[in-house]
Amino acid sequence: MTISVQSLAEVRRRAGYACEYCGVQETDTGGELTVDHFQPQAHGGTDDLSNLLYCCHRCNLYKADYWPNQPSDIPLWNPRQESADSHFVRLLDGSLYPITRVSGFTIGRLRLNRPALVAYRRRKQSESEEFKLLARYREVIALLERLQQQQAALLEDHRALLEEQKRLLRLLGRIG
């Protein structure tokens, strides 16, 4: 494969530095992923950017040089052309549920429900929920701090009113 440095950089950037099939990120694998020809070169695929996908070693290995040759062959899901949401439902246990014939075939071919990947999705979901919860806690703390400041201001106003009331009562006591 003779892909230019510029093309590789563009494929990585556009994929968000993550596998376009399974979502595993470079930071989670400790290095760059691979570039896959969606339509394999052995089946007429080119090095054109529209045919290049960024994917992890496992997805690339399982996809191999698959390309539907017969009209009855099921194509793989192409993440460059259709969103994952139109093909998969992510279940609470981290597995993917197919909602199309293409996604069912893709899950099987790329082994997208392999145990390590399901665990990865669960961990990422948990981290996302923790991040949202921490953000909400920060909002609550900020609101509590504002409330405390408002309460302190009200107590100061109350103290000032009590002082004014005492002063008026003293005045009334002198008059009466």
Over the stretch 13-70, which tens digit does the pLDDT of each residue have? 999 999 999 999 999 999 999 999 999 999 999 999 999 999 999 999 999 999 999 9
- Per-residue burial over 60-86, b = 16 or more CB atoms within 10 Å of its CB, e = otherwise: bebbeebbeeeeeebebbbbeeeebee
User: In which domain, by residue range, is 152 found?
Assistant: 129-176
Decide which of 113, 139, 157 is a domain's last residue: 113
Return the pLDDT at 28: 92
Return the pLDDT at 1: 56
Answer yes or no: is 107 within a domain: yes
Nearest one of 80, 59, 77 to 68, comparing CA atoms = 77
Instruction: Say whether both 104 and 144 belong to one domain.
Output: no
Answer yes or no: is 156 within a domain: yes
pLDDT in tens, 81-122: 999 999 999 999 999 999 999 999 999 999 999 999 999 999
Answer yes or no: is 123 within a domain: no
Decide which of 113, 147, 164 is a domain's last residue: 113
